[in-house]
Structure 1
Amino acid sequence: MLYIKRPVKIFFCFISLLITFPLLGQSILNLSFEPHVNGNQPLKLWYTKGPNYVFYIDTTLATEGKGSLVIESKLAQPTAFFTIYTNKLPVDSVKGKLLTLQVLARAEKPIVIQTYIAVQGKVDRLNDVLRMDTLKSFGKWHPYKLQIPVPLEAGQVAFGFRMFGSGKVWFDKATILLDSIPYPDIPIIEPDSSATTASARTPSQIEIDWLQKYNLPLQTFNPAVPLEDLYFIKSIMGTAQIVGLGEVSHGSREIFLMKHRLLRYLVEQHGFSLFAIEADMGAADRLNQYVLAGEGDPRQLLTGLGFWTWNTEEILGLISWMRKYNMKSTTKVKFTGFDMQVPEVAMDNLWQFAEKRDTLLKNSLQPIKEFIKTVRTTNTRAGMMSSQLQSKARLACRLLHERIELQKGYYLNILTLDELSTLRQDLLLLNQFIEFHLLPLKEAAGYRDACMADNLHYLLGKYPKEKVVVWAHNGHVSNQGMYVDVRPMGRYLKDTYKEKYINVGFAFGQGSYRGIDPASGKIATIKAEPAQVGSYEQFFDKVNSSAFMLDLRKISLSKATQWLFEPRYFRTVGAMATRREFSQTQIVKEFDLILFLKESTAAKAL
């Protein structure tokens, strides 16, 4: 299930300009070409090229305001046959959007001019679009308009105007549109070559005031207290039937409790009835029997998930709440998982079925059992595993699949459709586990996210009328991908389910979390790295609230909000602590909503 380029001849000097364009400080583009801006440097952010041409602001002629841009040749026959007047947009503001350039132009005599947009990748030119005209009816303003889709892999974007030959040309009232929305002429902040972030600065007062006005405050992370402060969520839910709840680490007590509280709200107020966690699907089904019917010991079943990250008081409290809710409610909340890293339960299910119903399956299951045992006992990947074992495991999965499909009639005589579907899914989990461990580590992370998305799609097919809460790391629920070369599970879900999938990214300002200490290799309480200067967390921490949410989908670009659209440092920690907790991302692309907590403490181990 899961898973315009227009060639134009262009001179080499223009391409080299894109590559060598200097990074500058805080100034405005000055698209209306006003004379007294940027400290009386109205063309500060523009780059000019071409001998025997001059560039300046004309304060005697303008369509609006007090000035217009002039390109003028000083010689009757300039030695250069064209000139460039260009600027770069912050590329992360325009990636993935339709970029439109509009401008008015006039000349003192018939002359050839050109407007252009060019997109440069990290290595190769990706896209350019230009319009070249001879202005014959001089003395009048003529409108120009260009459009180009900017690829996500864009490295730099430039636009500008050219004049060929001698004469004088005016440009005014330039406008940039991103997906038909005007790009405001506000301060653009780009780092110099020594900068460590896209905007290494502290928040301004106008930015703090905006955050203070538009944040959605949350009273507490305690899941047991009344939910009235969450009722605003109803107005931002839309048609969502899948809600991904992220987490900045796998060990923050406050984040776990807040996610529990959000789950309770979604269940009680919006009828969500399927809970899916980043854990083994088979083991999660055993916990489901507890929350539905009280079967088993929840502590033992929680340990059986195979993820130490969930062996905490907070997750046990969530499971206990689900059980209590199901005991008094006619609508039951189900517990399930969607990961594929712990296939032992799937193997047990298939082995027991083979012993009781189809002993021929055991011959094919044996090489897979050996593969799992080798992974568990040696903690190895394909590079240290015999090629014979690898081939046998892959062949066994193929033969098992073929037998089940060829004997489908037999299986339908002894199984229900739902039981047959579960049998196939268990086999798929084994195959996913094998392929995950045979892939190079660099590719395995992306493969895992694709598998988790497929497994969620299976669950949504199994429970077609259910609305689901997905519990996973920020990196998995995100829309674009917070890690290099990894397409996240959230991207697959967004592509497939559109507006029915929304996600919530989580962040905290300071404190600690539970994780693996890389020095000792043991699970410990890790002191969190302080929020870096210019990080999203530093901005969020200025709000006078211990916890709040922001709806990132409804924020318009302005002087007060530009920082949200810029790539900034954002904390991300997995199961293991790292020396550098912050990496660059752009949260408006990654999340629909962001939930910030000022303090985090380590989750409490069972």
Structure 2
Amino acid sequence: MLSTTVDIRAWLRDNAIAIDSTDPDSPGTELDGLIARLATATVVGLGESTRFSRQTFGVRERLLRGLVERHGFRALAIQDSARSGERWDRFVTAGAGDPESVLAGAWRPWRTEESVATLRWIRAYNLAHPDDPVRIFGVEPPRAEPSDYDAVLDYVRRAAPDRLAAIEAHLAPIRTAHQVDEHVQRHQGTHPGRPFAEHAEDALELLTTLPDTGERASALTHARLIRDFHRQSVASQGFARDERPSAETVLEWQRSTGAKIVYWDGLAHTTSLPIVFGTAEFRGTGSHLRTELGERYVSVGIGFHHGDLGAAVAPNPQPDLVDAALGEVELPAYYVDLHAAAPEPVHDWLTGPAKLRTISGVYDPAADATANIRLSSLADAFDVLIHVRETTPVHWLSQVSD
């Protein structure tokens, strides 16, 4: 076992390609080889081990820019709802609104200054290339937003003001999930207690008893969106689910536009294999994309060794994680192609079962040993791994900085 560990360390050192900067504005060319390798794909999945690292976000954007500028990629798929994605797209294609207002309605991990910079860069690119723009779309179906709660309450206020307090009592606590996810509230100890899906069901039931005016049908549509949002949340369903619908959204966009696509998400979603998270299997979008596209889907995992994530400081990874082995290379940041030639002991490690660190909004450093996913084969799950030694936090926009 010791000799195998030595072989793995030596192979990683020999095959590591240094990344000089994780700043998206870096003029460096050290990523050109990787970008050219990714450019052979139709869809490139760039998955992070955490949403809270400025460095992993930065290197991911460097790859996006290179694929757009030099290799004709013309779409960015994001983990967010179709409604949010449409606002991103309207800004970058038509200048509608401003990045801060666009992101105010986005999924919370996107509400950062780093995302603002992404939107501004794509908008600038599109202004310079009006006949060949980069588009953005969300891979999730349309889902409820704060405006849906307002629409329901406005209807009740007009149609049955005596019932307003009863319905508002159900909607007021659960709309907070659009600021901080319900499962994160439970982790933080700020959850009011009753499952949000139950409140949403009761609000919808009350709404059906109100006067059947011409406005009620529209209010019911908004209320059903709210109910479905909470039914389908992580708090209601857990992390393990099948993301085939998200993959179909990516595939349909590609078929209808012919565009080459960069897909941004967590690495649990972009990996080419199903994963085990806790005790449940999770089949992410990337696994379906690999099934449908074969080698035309390429998956890159972007992780880190240790550092400040804002809400928590992550220690050195557990010794049985791939991240710990990657940390044996003394470089601030680097990438390694998992399909490079390797001696038999290393090949067995690459193709064997693996555990990778993943840090979500419910991360607790005291339970760091549980913050990981399991894969049946590292090299079948990812084509390339990027490793950043030390991380610093993303910069939250003011509306989510509390």
User: Scaled by the length of structure 2, what TM-score is found?
Assistant: 0.74
CA distance in 2, matches of 1:438, 1:449: 12
CA distance in 2, matches of 1:344, 1:464: 28
2:249 equivalent among 449, 455, 461: 455
Matched, 1:255 2:49: no
Equivalent residue, structure 2, for 1:476: 269
CA distance in 2, matches of 1:345, 1:388: 15
CA distance in 1, matches of 2:254, 2:172: 31
Equivalent residue, structure 1, for 2:11: 210
2:300 equivalent among 492, 497, 504: 504
Matched, 1:376 2:179: no
Equivalent residue, structure 2, for 1:114: none
Matched, 1:596 2:383: no
CA distance in 2, matches of 1:248, 1:381: 28
Residues 106-155 of structure 1 deviation map (CA, whole Å, 9 limit, x = unaligned): xxxxxxxxxxxxxxxxxxxxxxxxxxxxxxxxxxxxxxxxxxxxxxxxxx
CA distance in 2, matches of 1:258, 1:531: 20
SS at match of 1:255: helix
1:464 equivalent among 240, 257, 261: 257
SS at match of 1:233: helix
Higher helix share: 2
Structure number with greater CO (CA < 8 Å, separation at least 6) is 2
SS at match of 1:246: strand
CA distance in 2, matches of 1:478, 1:601: 24
Matched, 1:264 2:53: no
Specify the code of the residue in structure 2 equivalent to 1:299: E
2:128 equivalent among 316, 328, 336: 328
Specify the code of the residue in structure 2 equivalent to 1:298: P
CA distance in 2, matches of 1:237, 1:283: 27
How many residue pairs are counted as aligned between the two chains? 342
Specify the code of the residue in structure 1 equivalent to 2:330: N
Matched, 1:315 2:115: yes
Equivalent residue, structure 1, for 2:192: none
Equivalent residue, structure 2, for 1:531: 317
SS at match of 1:279: strand
Unaligned regions of 5+ residues in structure 1, if any?
A: 1-25, 27-200, 352-369, 394-426, 515-523
Equivalent residue, structure 1, for 2:284: 488
Equivalent residue, structure 2, for 1:282: 83
CA distance in 1, matches of 2:244, 2:142: 13
Give the deviation of 1:388 after TM superposition: 9.9
Give the deviation of 1:290 after TM superposition: 1.5
Give the deviation of 1:205 after TM superposition: 3.3
CA distance in 1, matches of 2:35, 2:315: 35
Give the deviation of 1:435 after TM superposition: 7.9
Give the deviation of 1:204 after TM superposition: 3.6
CA distance in 2, matches of 1:382, 1:345: 16
CA distance in 2, matches of 1:486, 1:207: 28
Q: 1:580 to 1:202 in 2, by over 3 A?
A: farther
SS at match of 1:335: strand
Matched, 1:343 2:144: yes
CA distance in 1, matches of 2:264, 2:326: 23
Q: CA RMSD in A?
A: 3.5
Identity of aligned residues (%): 24
Matched, 1:220 2:21: yes
Larger Rg: 1
Q: 1:569 to 1:283 in 2, by over 3 A?
A: closer
Give the deviation of 1:541 after TM superposition: 1.3
CA distance in 1, matches of 2:234, 2:126: 43
SS at match of 1:243: strand
CA distance in 1, matches of 2:79, 2:85: 10
Q: 1:337 to 1:346 in 2, by over 3 A?
A: farther
SS at match of 2:30: helix
Whether the 8 Å contact between 2:77 and 2:139 is mirrored in structure 1 is yes
Matched, 1:299 2:100: yes
1:545 equivalent among 316, 331, 342: 331
Specify the code of the residue in structure 2 equivalent to 1:588: A
Displaced runs of 4 or more, over 6 A = 345-348, 370-374, 430-433
SS at match of 1:553: coil
Whether the 8 Å contact between 2:204 and 2:227 is mirrored in structure 1 is no
Equivalent residue, structure 2, for 1:191: none
CA distance in 2, matches of 1:440, 1:308: 14
Q: 1:242 to 1:444 in 2, by over 3 A?
A: same
SS at match of 1:580: helix
CA distance in 1, matches of 2:264, 2:146: 21
CA distance in 1, matches of 2:373, 2:200: 36
CA distance in 1, matches of 2:82, 2:232: 21
SS at match of 1:225: coil
Specify the code of the residue in structure 2 equivalent to 1:326: N
CA distance in 2, matches of 1:448, 1:275: 22
SS at match of 1:316: helix
Residues 37-91 of structure 1 deviation map (CA, whole Å, 9 limit, x = unaligned): xxxxxxxxxxxxxxxxxxxxxxxxxxxxxxxxxxxxxxxxxxxxxxxxxxxxxxx
Specify the code of the residue in structure 1 equivalent to 2:300: V
CA distance in 2, matches of 1:269, 1:209: 33
Higher strand share: 1
Matched, 1:583 2:367: no
Mean Cα deviation higher: 252-261 or 430-439: 430-439
SS at match of 2:257: coil
Q: 1:436 to 1:278 in 2, by over 3 A?
A: same
Equivalent residue, structure 2, for 1:564: 350
Give the deviation of 1:527 after TM superposition: 0.2
SS at match of 2:345: coil
Whether the 8 Å contact between 1:282 and 1:345 is mirrored in structure 2 is no
Specify the code of the residue in structure 1 equivalent to 2:283: R
User: Scaled by the length of structure 1, what TM-score is found?
Assistant: 0.50
Mean Cα deviation higher: 312-321 or 547-556: 547-556
